[in-house]
Structure 1
Amino acid sequence: MEKLKFTFQVKPTTDGKSNYIAITAIVTEDEKYFLIPEEFQAISQHTYIQTSKTFVTVKNTLKKRHQTRSVWIKTTEDILKTYVDEDGNMIFQNQFLEETTKEQLTVVSKTCSEDPIAKILEKLIENQEKKEKQSIKKLADKFVIEKFDGKSSNANQWMEVFEKECERFNVLKDEERIEIFRLFLEKSCTDWYSSMIIKLTLHSEWLQWKSSFIQTYANKGWTTSKYALSFKYQYGSLLEYAVKKEKLLLEVRKTIDEGTLIDIIAAGLPDFITDRINKEEILHTKDLFSELGKLEHLVAKKKNIKKKTIPSK
């Protein structure tokens, strides 16, 4: 025999919560039909078929429960030894396979797909999946992380925060992380996500997504660093300036020590503000923020003086 036709079907597990691919029947070149016993149908028991190139395509084709595909597979020596004995009888796991007809095989397949219990279980699973999708959106609202737009954040540090939030809310499965990941991307990053879905699909490894994300959005130039360092107070709230400056610096280098952080934030403030702050008393950024809050009135006062000195027309 040069080839055998195998019938693959997506079947529900015993508890109905997930699916598995099964081989339900084998057809020979002379159109003889043989049934695989239910206890031997799981693809995991068919090693040589599972590792064939044809099965990769079958696996990508079968997406929904009860779907079937019958495909020819070229027989190797290992496949022949597994399914055909020395006398040409169809066997599997040391058992002779039951021969049937094409019509009977069709009836069996149709009965399995129309099993009322299976239909009820399938409906329950669909409802559960809908609830899980809704809960993922609710869960995303609890994540303490800004959306990533590819411009304002350090990709490595952003990804580190995202993974910690996933762990905090027990989002550990690859598929769940990939799904919730989409909710934290915006602007051109959503196009990148769509491309990745086409290339890898939702049922892929999270590490592949993480690696591609970092390679795509990692900061390879000095622009972000230079902007963070040169960012200075110009107008408005002193506290808002300081908080934004701290954020910019931490996005560039998370490991920056607090003393250096304080010095760089202070360097961007006007002299008439820093002259009123005792450097020795500022040990943490929160101390600096507290002092700046007390000095907000000086900025407002200076602004009013400028308005009064403008001559009227």
Structure 2
Amino acid sequence: MEKLKFTFQVKSTNDGKSNYIAITSIATQDDKTYLIPEEFQAVQFHKHVQASKAFNTLRNTLKKRHQTRNVWIKMTEELLQTYCDEDENMIFQDQFLEEITQGQSTIGKTRDLEDPLTKILEKLIESQQNKEKQSIKKLADRFVIEKFDGRSASACHWMETFEKECARFNIEKDEEKIEIFRLFLDKSGADWYSSMMIKYSLQSEWSEWKSNFLQTYANKGWNASKYALFYRYQSGSLLEYAIKKEKLLLEVRKTIDHGTLIDIIAAGLPDYITDRINKEEIVQTKELFNELGKLEHLVAKKKFIKKKEDTKQVKEKCSICESLQKGVRYHSEDSCWFKTKSNNGKDKNNKQIKHVNNSELECELQCDEPKN
């Protein structure tokens, strides 16, 4: 045996932070290939190969991870004793090496080359599987939709929003839609879902659930429409009022045009607010919201003046209570209870005095004799 062909490959360590040169197989001149056990592939175990001239050139050649080279090395006495026994069997570290066919060798090399790509693909697949296994509850937390209780929203518009959210998160199976549907129902909606589960179960079609839901919670009366139309500003933020009224109107009729929407919102505002807004400049509701934001100080100012007047009235002492020795009381004299009582007493005394004087005068007139 004059020479042997060694297959060298740059591999990564277990932690992936560094590289090392490994001898993966040895081939003879008659095209027989023998695998080196993985635990002995590091070139540090092959001292006589490292001492060869070819290895110095090889070390300058292999610089990147996963690079591979097949190199013929001339046999020396030390190499023969290391890799061949006296019967010319291939051995290493007192172990017979496994012989592989040419086809197996090609597959092994391909696997070695594809190993990094395989690991990357496995990680991607594993990551995708983890996403698919993500619990329905965590996925539902990302839905931008309020819970439906049968009162607060239009069933038709709510269902439309729900299906859009399902499409956004690629929830297409009927069973998944029915399962996640439960997490967005409250009060009467939750009771309705329980009864539907008894009748249809999770293995039913989503279209049946949707149709039943819309028929059950269809707006058949005028209460929602009347409440939206007659909802007016009472106190607090002007912007909060306008946003809530817009929401109520859109829930009743989503196709309402911008002009009508703006007019109805403005109709619920105080006159001293609408008088300061130029109607011709308002085309979109966002422009109305912007103007209302600028006029918030008027509401705050009016509230502050009223509060200041009330405080001033409370700080005034009642002179009536103080004169009657009822203690120091802080209220207006007009609303004083003792004022009415005191006045009634005075009127009564005045009437008595007047009555007595008239009687005495009459008696004196009757008793007196005229001189003439």
Same-fold call, TM cutoff 0.5: yes
The 1-side partners of 2:293 and 2:141 are apart by 30
One-letter amino acid of the structure 2 residue matched with residue 167 of structure 1: A
Confirm whether residue 181 of structure 1 aligns to residue 186 of structure 2: no
Deviation at 1:306, TM superposition (A): 1.1
- 1:282 corresponds in structure 2 to 282
Q: Deviations over 1:157-214 (max 9, x none)?
A: 1111111111111111000000111111111211110111111001110001001101
Deviation at 1:147, TM superposition (A): 1.0
**Pairs aligned (count):** 186
One-letter amino acid of the structure 2 residue matched with residue 254 of structure 1: K
Deviation at 1:135, TM superposition (A): 2.9
Q: Is the radius of gyration larger for structure 1 or structure 2?
A: 2
Deviation at 1:132, TM superposition (A): 5.5
The 1-side partners of 2:258 and 2:166 are apart by 27
Deviation at 1:300, TM superposition (A): 0.6
- 2:216 corresponds in structure 1 to 216
Matches within 5 A, 1:21-170: 134-170=134-170
TM-score, length basis structure 1:
0.57
Taking CA–CA contacts closer than 8 Å with sequence separation of 6 or more, which of the two structures ends up with the larger relative contact order?
1
- 1:298 corresponds in structure 2 to 298
Deviation at 1:309, TM superposition (A): 2.2
The 1-side partners of 2:180 and 2:129 are apart by 14
One-letter amino acid of the structure 2 residue matched with residue 292 of structure 1: L
Deviation at 1:253, TM superposition (A): 0.2
The 1-side partners of 2:219 and 2:288 are apart by 29
The 2-side partners of 1:276 and 1:137 are apart by 49
Give secondary structure in 1 for the equivalent of 2:162.
helix
The 1-side partners of 2:191 and 2:140 are apart by 20
- CA change 1:296–1:278 in 2 (3 A) is same
One-letter amino acid of the structure 2 residue matched with residue 168 of structure 1: R
The 1-side partners of 2:133 and 2:240 are apart by 37
The 2-side partners of 1:301 and 1:309 are apart by 13
Deviation at 1:130, TM superposition (A): 11
Give secondary structure in 1 for the equivalent of 2:276.
coil
TM-score, length basis structure 2:
0.48
Identical positions, percent: 77
Q: Deviations over 1:129-170 (max 9, x none)?
A: 998674322221221111111001010111111111111111
Confirm whether residue 273 of structure 1 aligns to residue 273 of structure 2: yes
The 2-side partners of 1:212 and 1:200 are apart by 11
The 2-side partners of 1:168 and 1:130 are apart by 19
Matches within 5 A, 1:223-242: 223-242=223-242
Give secondary structure in 1 for the equivalent of 2:189.
helix
One-letter amino acid of the structure 2 residue matched with residue 259 of structure 1: G
The 2-side partners of 1:217 and 1:200 are apart by 18
RMSD: 1.8
One-letter amino acid of the structure 2 residue matched with residue 198 of structure 1: I
The 2-side partners of 1:187 and 1:133 are apart by 29
The 1-side partners of 2:209 and 2:131 are apart by 25
The 2-side partners of 1:273 and 1:281 are apart by 15
Deviation at 1:286, TM superposition (A): 0.4
Q: Deviations over 1:44-96 (max 9, x none)?
A: xxxxxxxxxxxxxxxxxxxxxxxxxxxxxxxxxxxxxxxxxxxxxxxxxxxxx
The 2-side partners of 1:216 and 1:130 are apart by 37
The 2-side partners of 1:227 and 1:132 are apart by 44
The 1-side partners of 2:305 and 2:284 are apart by 33
Q: Deviations over 1:213-252 (max 9, x none)?
A: 0111110000000000000000011000000000000000
Confirm whether residue 196 of structure 1 aligns to residue 192 of structure 2: no
- CA change 1:277–1:160 in 2 (3 A) is same
- CA change 1:129–1:221 in 2 (3 A) is farther
The 1-side partners of 2:148 and 2:220 are apart by 17
